[in-house]
Structure 1
Amino acid sequence: MKSGLSALGVLVVLTVSACGQGAAGQAPAPSARTLSTGASVAGTVPPAVLDPCALLDPKDRSTAGINVLGVAKEINGARACDWTVPATFGVTITVDEKNGLADLEVARKTATKTKVGDRNALKVADANAADGTCAVLLGMGEKASVQIDVSNTNFTDTPLACERAVTVAGLAEPKLP
């Protein structure tokens, strides 16, 4: 029984740490180099050099309830950063420099048009699935987007996942070009 619980714990950790992979709205993008700088990314940085891990500074992470550092990764050829708060939730921010909001494949019945700051966005969640996942997709011009995916560890409480995704989107949005 103990090994069964250990295996389940490993499965949950692996599942949450993979949040964002294959997420709603994720479109394949060719590989791009990642530049990481300690400088602010606000306003003038083109998507090609935008580091997703730099979109949440320590104050932002604290505001969002994230007490861990982000881990850089690649999802379908796009740069991403993953934060996994043990036994709570995971957040993945993906910078897609090839697909604007109109290009993303999103099930329209799960998407709601919204604004984050002055930016067009989509909030994507399936209330009927009640799976504790939600995404906020931010437009960055015609041909780029930033996708914030949240998964609750227990895969319940979709409204809470959306609240977290909207909070993270609001913190990251001012730093986007």
Structure 2
Amino acid sequence: MRISLKPSAGFLLPVLAAMTLATVACSEGVEGTPSATQSPSSAATEPGQAVVDTSSLDPCTMMTPADLTEYGTFLPGTSENKGGARGCSWVKSVQTASEKGIVIGVGVRDSQGVKDANDVGGGLQPVTVNGREAVQIPDASGCILALGVGARSRVDLTIAADEAEKGCQIATKVAQTVVEPKLPKG
């Protein structure tokens, strides 16, 4: 007997949505060659917010499949860099065609703060996570929770699920208990 495993639409939809959310919510639409024209001392920062170096943050060490067991069994994180972020994603292992898939991603943005987040159609909702400035960005296929790390950097927690409300609930809980406590204060 031969068993063929084909990804179902219920699995592929969240994966494709995660890729779309990560790219759309994070692109600035600016083309060209980057160049340093401003000295660090003259760079603008917001009052009360320091510049925090996020270059040493590894998104694949921010969580493990064990951190996500409440939502199912997840495969180990896979590193991916896209849309201006260093990222890692965890895919829920789907056992049946009727089971809903979830993809959870973490993206570190070294030069884009919370105020640089883009609306992907569901609005930008300012929130706080464990006292940290954040913005929730819902979409029909999930949610992004952008956590501020200083004035000019952030960590995005992207949840591709079957609906925005569910995605934002998962993002908030994972951010509060797993991701935010690992971020530098700024």
TM-score, normalising length: structure 1: 0.71
Residues 10 and 59 of structure 1, relative CA distance in 2, 3 Å threshold: closer
1-structure distance, mates of 2:93, 2:77: 13
**Of 155, 162, 169, which aligns to 2:168?**
162
Partner of 2:23: 22
Gapped regions of structure 1 (runs ≥ 5): 31-44
Q: How many residues align?
A: 152
Q: What is the percent sequence identity of the aligned residues?
A: 24
1:139 to 107, 124, 148: 148
Q: Unpaired runs of 5+ in structure 2?
A: 34-51, 95-100
1:125 aligns with 2:138: yes
Rg larger in 1 or in 2? 2
Does the CA-based 8 Å contact 1:17-1:82 persist in structure 2?
A: no
Q: Which runs of 4+ in 1 moved over 6 A?
A: none
Contact 1:138/1:147 (<8 A) preserved = yes
RMSD in angstroms over aligned alpha carbons? 3.2
1:78 aligned to 85, 89, 100, which one? 85
Confirm or deny: 8 A CA contact 1:52 1:80 kept in the other structure.
yes
Cα separation, 2, equivalents of 1:107 and 1:84:
22
Structure-2 separation of matches of 1:166 and 1:23:
20
Question: Structure 1, residues 38-87: CA drift from partner, whole Å, max 9, x if none?
Answer: xxxxxxx9410100011114542335545221001101242100111134
Q: Normalization by structure 2: what TM-score?
A: 0.68
2:158 to 149, 157, 173: 149
